[in-house]
Amino acid sequence: MKKLLLLLTATALFAQQRPDIIGQIVGTQKATIAIADMRGAGRAAEQTAVVNSTIFRDIEDAAIFKMAPKSMYPLKVPQRPQDFRKPLQYDPNNRNADPWLMDWSEPPVNADYLAFGYTAEQDGQLVLFGWLFNVRQPDVAAAQVIGKLYFGPLDETGARKVAHEFAADILKQFGVESLAGSKIYYVSNRSGHKEIWSMDYDGGNQKQVTSYSTITTMPSVSPDATRLAFTSWTPNGPQILVHSLETLRRIPFYNPRAGVNQNASYTPDGKQMVFSSSVSGYSQLYIANADGSNLKRITQTRVVEVEPKVNPKTGNDIVFVSGRSGVSPQLYRMNIEGADVQRLTTGEGQATNPSWNPQGTHVAFAWTRGYDPGNFNIFVMDVATGNYVQLTSGAGRNENPTWAPDGKHIVFASDRGGRMQIWSMLADGTQLRQLTSSGINEKPVWSK
């Protein structure tokens, strides 16, 4: 009975906290948009399925719109502005009438905006003719928000390109940057060894980045997305290596003489790096220049301290994992000089893998407490208040969350399908997407 009361109390607290934190992150007021399926002419018709699915997903994933269900769309869907014909008297029951704005703004669609268009082959290229209309305007001239042509190769790559560009232009109208163009770096064993791989935000274009034929793990990307730091098992043990993402060549980095150097993370200006090193005998936290010079120790304990992450907004706060509580690893916060240490988690279970959101206000992390005790799940904490919410439960082991550049999405690793794979979700725990399926994949980081 006591356990039941504790569970009910925890559930009530979870429900009470969730709207406050999640509302701050993903927002609550959303306009409704309809995304009409495009048709294609000539060889462009072969790519319309890719175009349509890419546009819809890009807009849906932005999490700023309510998506009008396609089952509610009118029978006659416009492909061009010329397809709209204003009736002398609007009759929503006349299913044979030409398309009109009110077909979309009135029930059952109830949309505020409509994206539509078509694709064609032109001089050996794929061309997307895209429009965005505010369907609550009185006529076609007033309704048009976007009317633009997009060009790409006449293949699936070109289809994704033009679709991403059209969706990005729509999102830009609402002050939102598209995730298209951002990259996710992660660890995969599909080549026979653990190496760093990269992919597009939606799981496309998966490529191997490193080839050390050993254990290569814990990727971290510089704020300007030009350098990739990671930990690789060398003859001297785990050491930090750095690659240029422009030339894909190795950049010199001085590792202090220690059995373990790992968990590299850049400061917001990219000029310094914090990491964990066993120079003192215990893994402690250090800060150095981006090339490893000018090393400075910033924690002074005799317990293991790892996974430092610098606040990307202020550059002054670090969250990290420490066993200084004497029970199990917990999340802590301190300033970049190592002072003003504060424990963030309660001391229950194990808390690991902290990641700041781009705004520097919330931390995502993995924790073994909550509604699936004993298994790691993803939590988000408002650092200022200490309030937290649990985003995953009852679906295996979930760990290594990292925020997307938009601050509304999280990428993480989960074994919910039997093997550890990379997943993404909205920061309220919805819109789950599996991004990898080949091999075992883990430790993702999301870069602009």
The answer to whether 244 and 227 have CB atoms below 8 angstroms apart is yes
CA distance 79 to 267: 48
CA distance 311 to 331: 14
The angle subtended at Cα 200 by Cα 195 and Cα 201, nearest 5°, is 110
Reported as a single tens digit per residue, the pLDDT across 340-396 is: 999 999 999 999 999 999 999 999 999 998 888 889 999 999 999 999 999 999 999
Q: 6-13 contacts: CB < 8 A, separation 24 or more?
A: 10/371
Reported as a single tens digit per residue, the pLDDT across 233-280 is: 999 899 999 999 999 999 999 999 999 999 999 999 999 999 999 999
Is the peptide bond preceding residue 444 cis, with omega within 30 degrees of 0? no
Task: Provide the pLDDT for residue 29.
Answer: 65
CA distance 152 to 120: 11
CA distance 398 to 125: 43
Task: Provide the pLDDT for residue 90.
Answer: 79
CA distance 136 to 144: 11
Q: Strand, helix or coil at 44?
A: helix
Residues in the chain: 448
H helix runs in 250-317, sequence order: none
The first and second tokens of residue 45, run together, are 């018709």
Q: Are strands 39-40 and 31-35 parallel, antiparallel or unpaired?
A: unpaired
Q: pLDDT in tens for each of the 448 residues of the chain?
A: 443 343 333 333 333 344 456 666 655 568 999 999 999 988 999 999 999 999 999 999 888 999 999 999 999 999 999 999 988 887 777 767 789 999 999 999 999 999 999 999 999 999 999 999 999 999 999 999 999 999 999 999 999 999 999 999 999 999 988 999 999 999 999 999 999 999 999 998 999 999 999 999 999 999 999 999 999 999 989 999 999 999 999 999 999 999 999 999 999 999 999 999 999 999 999 999 999 999 999 999 999 999 999 999 999 999 999 999 887 999 999 999 999 999 999 999 999 999 999 999 999 999 998 888 889 999 999 999 999 999 999 999 999 999 999 999 999 999 999 999 999 999 999 999 999 999 999 999 999 9
Per-residue exposure over 320-339, b if at least 16 CB sit within 10 Å of its own CB, e if not: bbbbbeeeebbbbbbebebe
Q: Are strands 317-322 and 330-335 parallel, antiparallel or unpaired?
A: antiparallel
Please report, for residues 23, 128, 161, 236, 417, the alpha-carbon distance to residue 35 in angstroms, rounded to integers and kept in the order given.
25, 14, 17, 55, 31
Domains delineated in the chain: 26-88+97-172 (3.40.50.10070), 183-447 (2.120.10.30)
The first and second tokens of residue 370, run together, are 């909550």
CA distance 270 to 401: 21
Q: Are strands 216-221 and 207-208 parallel, antiparallel or unpaired?
A: unpaired
Backbone torsions φ then ψ of 32, nearest 5 degrees: -100, 135
H/E run at residue 23: helix 2-26
Task: Provide the pLDDT for residue 6.
Answer: 37
Sign of the dihedral through C-alpha 208, 212, 213, 219: negative
The first and second tokens of residue 411, run together, are 């990428």
The answer to whether 143 and 135 have CB atoms below 8 angstroms apart is yes
